[in-house]
Structure 1
Amino acid sequence: MSYRNIFVVGMDAYNRQRLEHLRGAENYRFHGVIEPAEVYDTEIFPIEDMLARAETQLKEFSEPIDAIVGYMDFPVSTMLPILCERLGTRSTSLESLLKCEHKYWSRLVQKDVIADYIPRFTAFDPFDPQALQHIGEAGLYMPFFVKPIKSSGSRLGFRIESPEDFAYAVARLRESIGTISEPFNYVLEHANLPDAVRSVDGGHCMAEEIIGGWQCTVEGYVFQEEVASYGIVDSIRYPQVLSFFCYRYPSRLPTAIQTKMQALTRQVMSHIGYDNAAFNIEYFWDEVQDRIWLLEINTRIAQSHCDLFEKVDGISHQQVTVDLALGQLPDMPYRQGAFKVAAEFFYRVFFTDATVSQVPSCEEIEALQQAFPGTLITLKVEVGMRLSSLPEQDSYSYALAYVWMGADDDSALKENYERLAEQLHFAFEDITG
C-alpha cells in the first residue's frame, strides 16, 4: 500500500497525535519540517533562513510530497504559499493570503464589497512624530484602536483614549514592531502588490474605529472556489478588559446573526480570490445597534479550536487543513463528539509583571484532568520565569494556563471550570501593577 506524505510545518508531538486520529490518517505519513521551537513561543522569525532550510529538506525527500500544511499564525501561515509554490503542492496564492493578513490591504478589499460591516480605518507610521495628527486628518478621533499591519494574537494592540495612551502605545510599537515587520517585509517582497499597499509595509500600523459586542469566529474553507463555513466559536472576554476568558463552541449567537455572518464570509472570501485553503474570520455582533462588524481574517484554522471541534463534532478541524492540501473536499463530522459544548479557558493574572515562585505540579495537573473527564491543562509558565518574558501575550494580562473542557451544557461547563480554577495554585514574588 502506498502512503501519502504530508509535511507539517512546526509539528510537535501533541499535534502529531491529533493528526494521526484524522479520518483517512491510516493512509497518511506525517513528517515535520522546521522545528516546533522555531515557530512556537518565540518572537524571533528568520523567515528567509527557515524557508531555505525547509526547501532543502523537502527537496532531499526521496518520495513524492503530497501536501505541505500548517496550523499556526505568523510566520507559518505566510511561509506556506511560498513553500508550496516552490515544491508544487496545493495552496492559495500568496497575494490572496496577503489580502487577509496585511491588515491595511485586507480592509481595502473588504471595503470593496462589505463597506457597511467594517470600521473606519487608516494606516500610520509609528515613527512619524505627526502620526496622531495624520490619524485625525483621516477622520478618526479618540477613542480608537491601534495595532501593527501584521501582528500575532492580541500582541501590540492598544485602545487609545488620550494622547498619553497614544504616546505609550507608540513607544511600545517602536520598541517591538521590528520583530514582525522585518520578516513580514521579506514575505511582501515575493508578492505582486498594488502601489497603495506596497507603500504601507510591515513597519506601519493601523488605527481603527472602536468596534465591539459579542465576539465570535467563523471557521471555514474554500474548495474549488466554493466558500463553506462549518462552525462558529464564541470568544468571551473578562469583564471590562480586552483579555479573553474563554472560547466556547458551539456559538450561542441568534441563528439569524450566524446566517448573516456566513453570508458575509462567502461574499468577502470570494472577492479576495482565496482558494483551496482553510481560514477563519472574527466578527462582532453589536447587540444594541444590531450591527455586525468584521474584525479580521486569519488564513488558517484556529489551533485553539482543535480540541473544541474534537469534543463536540468528533474530530479536530485539522481535518479541513489536511483534506484541502490533498485536493479533497473536507470530511468533517457534525455533533459526533462526546460533549454537547466545549471551551478553552484562559487562566490569567492581571499584573504589570511578576516572577513565578510556584506552579501546579505534574501530579496535581494529572489529578485535575482525571477529576474532570476530557479535560486538558497546559501550563505556560514555570518557577523562576518573569511574566514579561512570555511571548504572544495581550497588553493587559498574562495567561498562565490553558484549560480545555467539555460538558453537557453551558452552566455545567462554567461550574466545572470554576471548581478546577480554584485548585490551580500559582504563587508570585516581585509583583508590580
Structure 2
Amino acid sequence: MTKNVFVVGLNDHNAERLTSLRGVEDVVFHPLLTPAQVYETQEFDIPAMLAEAEATLDAFDGSIDAIVGYMDFPVSTMLPLLCAKYGTRNASLESLLKCEHKFWSRSVMAEIVPDHTPNFTAFDPFDDDALSKIGEAGLRFPFFVKPIKSSGSRLGFRIDSPEDFAYATEKLRAEIRSIGEPFDHVLSQANLPDDIRSVEGHYCMAERVIGGRQCTVEGYVHDGEVTLYGTVDSIRYPQVLSFFYYLYPSNLPRPVQEQMWEISRKVMTHIGYDNAGFNIEYFWDEVENKIWLLEINTRIAQSHCDLFEMVDGVSHQQVTVDLGLGRKPDMPHREGSQKVAAEFFYRVFFRDATVARTPSRAEIEVAAEQVDGTRIVSNVRKGMQLSELPEQDAYSFAVASLWMGASTGSKLLWNYEQVMKRLNYEFTDILD
C-alpha cells in the first residue's frame, strides 16, 4: 500500500532527492508548509504555522504515515506537536527540549557527562546587572554567549571585555524575541521542571570558551537503540569563528571519534530521546586531549545530505524517512562515488554591504562544470543588503555554498579554488 509522508518545508531540490532514497518505491512525499514560511524568513508565527499544517493534514484524503523534517527551528520544535496529534513516530516534546533548550541541555550534560561539559549559566539580556551575575556564577572573560534557543550560529558572541558584552547585549535585545517568543509557545506545551520553566525563551547562555578541532557526530535512536553512522569535521576560517567547510569523513583520530560516539550513546539514552535523528557537535582539544560536548541538534544536518550521498551512496534523509515510517534506517556505508566530500561556504567579512553583482545562472552552471558532481547555491541577489540574509553568524555573511567530492582532501581544496575562480561577486556601500 502507498505510504504518505509529509515533509515540513519541502523544497524542489529535496523533493527530487527524496525519491532516490532506498525503499521509497511505495512512498509519496507531500509538502507541508512552504520553505518561505519556515526558513526563508526571520518571523516565526508558530501557532499560525501549526494551524495551517493541521488544516492541510485534516483535509488530506488518505493515510498520514509520517510527518518529518530536516531543518532546525521552527521545524524541529513543531514536529513533536504534529506527530503527537496525528499518531506518527517522533521523539517526545520533552526529550527534544532537553536538547534544544540550551540551559536544560547543559544541565542534563552536567549530570551525565560532567567532564565534557563547560561551566555555564543562564542570564536575561534585558537585565542591566546580567554581567555581574555571570561573574557571580564563576565565569570570567573570555566567555561565550548565545540564546537558549537559536539556529545555526545566529546571535552567538565571544566576550572578551565589558565592551564586547555591551555590544552583544544590544544585538540580543534587538533580535532575540524573534525566536524567543515563538519558542515560549513551544515551551508552554511541555511539562517542564520549575527551574527550567523560569528560563524563558528570550534568555541567553553564558559559558566557558571551549575550542579545538570541531566536528559533528550524526546518529539516530530507533526503539531505544542509539546508532551513530558518521562524523563530519567543521573547519573554520583562520582566526575567526565562521565556518569555511564541512568535511566528511572526519580526519580526527579514530580513538577520539569512538570516544565521542560513546559519549553520544550515553547522553541520548539518558535523555530518553527516541525514534528520531540527531547530531551532536563536539570539540577535541588536541593539546590537552580533552573532548567537549558543544550542543545537541534534534535533526539530521541538512548541510551534510550531499556529503553522505557522495561518500556513502545516499543522503542521510534516509534516516529521517525510515524513522518516520517506524523502520530501522537502511543507511549504507562507503558505497558512494567519492572518497571525501565537503560543503564550502564562500563568505565576506563585512558588517554590511549592498550586493552589486552576482554570477548569472549560466556562470554558476559553467563554474559547477569544472568539477563533476558539484552543486552551487547562491544566497544573494543583486541590490540586496547582506544584513537581509537570515541565519547568519555575528562575524560574516555566507554568500554562496558549494558541495563537491574528490578522491583526497587536498584534491578537494584544489577543486574548490578552481570553481571559485569562475564565480564573481561584487559589493558596494561596504561597512567594515
Residues 66 and 326 in structure 1, CA contact (< 8 A), matched pair in contact too:
yes
Query: How many Å separate the matches in 1 of 2:256 and 2:169?
Result: 36
Residue identity in the other structure for 1:68: I
Specify the alignment match of 1:106 in structure 2: 105
Deviation at 1:31, TM superposition (A): 0.3
Residues 121 and 206 in structure 1, CA contact (< 8 A), matched pair in contact too:
yes
Specify the alignment match of 1:172 in structure 2: 171
**Cα offsets for 1:71-114 (capped at 9, x unmatched):** 00000000000000111111110000000000000001111110
Deviation at 1:41, TM superposition (A): 2.3
SS in 2 for 1:234: strand
Query: How many Å separate the matches in 2 of 1:81 and 1:294?
Result: 24
Specify the alignment match of 2:223 in structure 1: 224
**Cα offsets for 1:276-297 (capped at 9, x unmatched):** 0000000000001100000000
Query: How many Å separate the matches in 2 of 1:396 and 1:421?
Result: 21
Deviation at 1:369, TM superposition (A): 1.4
SS in 2 for 1:26: coil
Residues 10 and 39 in structure 1, CA contact (< 8 A), matched pair in contact too:
yes
Residue identity in the other structure for 2:235: I
Query: How many Å separate the matches in 2 of 1:53 and 1:235?
Result: 36
Specify the alignment match of 1:251 in structure 2: 250
Percent identical pairs in the alignment equals 64
SS in 2 for 1:260: helix
Specify the alignment match of 1:324 in structure 2: 323
Q: Normalising to structure 1: TM-score of the pair?
A: 0.99
Query: How many Å separate the matches in 1 of 2:23 and 2:367?
Result: 33
Query: How many Å separate the matches in 1 of 2:386 and 2:93?
Result: 36
Residue identity in the other structure for 1:33: L
Query: How many Å separate the matches in 1 of 2:95 and 2:44?
Result: 22
Specify the alignment match of 2:6 in structure 1: 7
Q: CA RMSD in A?
A: 0.6
Residue identity in the other structure for 1:26: E
**Cα offsets for 1:230-285 (capped at 9, x unmatched):** 00000000000000000000000000000000000000000000000000000000
Query: How many Å separate the matches in 2 of 1:380 and 1:230?
Result: 30
Query: How many Å separate the matches in 1 of 2:223 and 2:430?
Result: 53
The reply on whether 1:289 has 2:285 as its aligned counterpart is no
Specify the alignment match of 1:122 in structure 2: 121
Query: How many Å separate the matches in 1 of 2:419 and 2:8?
Result: 34
Q: Gaps (5+ residues) in structure 1?
A: none
Query: How many Å separate the matches in 1 of 2:387 and 2:4?
Result: 40
Query: How many Å separate the matches in 2 of 1:416 and 1:207?
Result: 39
Residue identity in the other structure for 2:316: H
Residues 41 and 392 in structure 1, CA contact (< 8 A), matched pair in contact too:
no
Where in structure 1 do 4 or more consecutive aligned residues deviate above 6 Å?
A: none
Query: How many Å separate the matches in 2 of 1:177 and 1:158?
Result: 13
Residues 210 and 283 in structure 2, CA contact (< 8 A), matched pair in contact too:
yes
Deviation at 1:207, TM superposition (A): 0.0
How many residues are aligned here?
A: 432
Specify the alignment match of 1:305 in structure 2: 304
Residues 94 and 191 in structure 2, CA contact (< 8 A), matched pair in contact too:
yes
The reply on whether 1:50 has 2:49 as its aligned counterpart is yes
Deviation at 1:423, TM superposition (A): 2.0
Query: How many Å separate the matches in 1 of 2:354 and 2:40?
Result: 18
Residues 90 and 276 in structure 1, CA contact (< 8 A), matched pair in contact too:
yes
Specify the alignment match of 2:377 in structure 1: 378
Query: How many Å separate the matches in 1 of 2:139 and 2:370?
Result: 51
Deviation at 1:422, TM superposition (A): 2.2
Query: How many Å separate the matches in 1 of 2:422 and 2:243?
Result: 20
SS in 2 for 1:292: strand
Residues 8 and 30 in structure 1, CA contact (< 8 A), matched pair in contact too:
yes
Query: How many Å separate the matches in 1 of 2:189 and 2:394?
Result: 31
**Cα offsets for 1:197-230 (capped at 9, x unmatched):** 0000111000000000000000000001000100
Query: How many Å separate the matches in 2 of 1:143 and 1:202?
Result: 24
Query: How many Å separate the matches in 2 of 1:408 and 1:155?
Result: 33
Specify the alignment match of 2:341 in structure 1: 342
Residue identity in the other structure for 2:277: A
Q: Normalising to structure 2: TM-score of the pair?
A: 0.99
Specify the alignment match of 1:150 in structure 2: 149
Deviation at 1:370, TM superposition (A): 1.6
Specify the alignment match of 2:235 in structure 1: 236
Query: How many Å separate the matches in 1 of 2:249 and 2:267?
Result: 23
SS in 1 for 2:369: helix
Query: How many Å separate the matches in 1 of 2:368 and 2:169?
Result: 42
Deviation at 1:164, TM superposition (A): 0.3
Specify the alignment match of 2:198 in structure 1: 199
The reply on whether 1:141 has 2:140 as its aligned counterpart is yes
Residue identity in the other structure for 2:66: A
Deviation at 1:303, TM superposition (A): 0.1
Residues 367 and 420 in structure 2, CA contact (< 8 A), matched pair in contact too:
no
Residues 353 and 386 in structure 2, CA contact (< 8 A), matched pair in contact too:
yes
Deviation at 1:65, TM superposition (A): 0.6
Residue identity in the other structure for 1:141: R
Q: Gaps (5+ residues) in structure 2?
A: none
Residues 365 and 377 in structure 1, CA contact (< 8 A), matched pair in contact too:
yes
The reply on whether 1:405 has 2:404 as its aligned counterpart is yes
Query: How many Å separate the matches in 2 of 1:152 and 1:19?
Result: 24
